[in-house]
Structure 1
């Protein structure tokens, strides 16, 4: 909680300072603290997701953990509604997304606006997973 208050204070200072995109309003230590908190949020989410076990692919869901410049989900984690606390998973995913957005805002950067199709979900050996995607250039 204390680190969240610190990071929110840094964000407010960055917003007041104008967040020039050519120069970060965050010091190296502040960036590292933000990155550590984002990583901790993602690790907590992954722990809550666990093995994402299910009997049917219909129990599999996606949780967005970051968004692009237009607010579209751009990064996901897979979970099962039958294996774990769905509300807690959604809360932790929203926290990771919020921290990622605040970090980008504090840095004065905005991810590009790219529509990303959610990856198809599959059930592999009783576990929810992304379907492998082949990218052709």
Structure 2
């Protein structure tokens, strides 16, 4: 039997005497790829990154910042995190968010993840009682 990998969208489909998905085939390389499609690592990286963001401690809204979180399959971030630049180790936060984005991008491609293609804009920021937060649209 002949195996062929065909690029379709952001992932691969295994064609083998008909169509078989990674989870349906007994091929070891396909099974290994399917088993790695567990979001636990992505969730852990996101939790670690968000724990670094401190929204409190600012005295002026100009000290408030937002940063993109994750990677949608269509491109762009899934959301944004709001934090105070004076009370957050910004370098550490941005590096953690970059690791998350890179790993989630790999995950999306490897696991054939689909998403909406809408752009998630950075939020407008406000300072309320020393806490940075996204402005809630009325």
Whether these two folds match at TM > 0.5 is yes
How big is each residue's C-alpha offset from its partner over 1:96-121, in whole Å with a ceiling of 9 and x where there is no partner? 11122111111112433222222211
1:108 pairs with 2:81: no
Output one character per residue of 1:5-47: Cα deviation in whole Å (capped at 9) or x when no partner: xxxxxxxxxx9xx6239945422xx223xx1211111111122
Q: Whose strand fraction is larger, Structure 1's or Structure 2's?
A: 2
CA RMSD, 1 decimal = 2.5
Confirm or deny: 8 A CA contact 2:73 2:113 kept in the other structure: no
Taking structure 1 as reference, are residues 72 and 51 closer, same or farther at Cα in structure 2, changes over 3 Å only? closer
Q: Deviations over 1:35-63 (max 9, x none)?
A: 12111111111221134421111111111
Q: 1:9-24 maps to which residues of 2 (within 5 A)?
A: 19-20=12-13, 23=21
Query: Which of residues 115, 121, 125 is equivalent to 1:117?
Result: 121
Trace 1:1-137 onto structure 2 (pairs within 5 A): 19-20=12-13, 23=21, 25-27=33-35, 30-32=36-38, 35-69=39-73, 71-134=75-138
Distance 1:123 1:110, change over 3 A: same
TM-score by length of 1: 0.69
Deviates more, 1:87-96 or 1:67-76: 67-76
Q: Which structure carries more relative contact order (alpha carbon 8 Å, separation 6+)?
A: 1
Tell me, which stretches of 5 or more residues in structure 2 are unaligned?
1-6, 15-19, 23-32
Residue pair 2:73, 2:105 contacting (<8 A) in 1 also: no
Question: Which structure is larger by alpha-carbon Rg, 1 or 2?
Answer: 2
Give the number of aligned pairs. Answer: 114
Richer in helix (by share): 1
| 1:76-108 superposed Cα distances (whole Å, 9 cap, x missing partner) | 111121012111010011111112211111111
Q: Which runs of 4+ in 1 moved over 6 A?
A: none
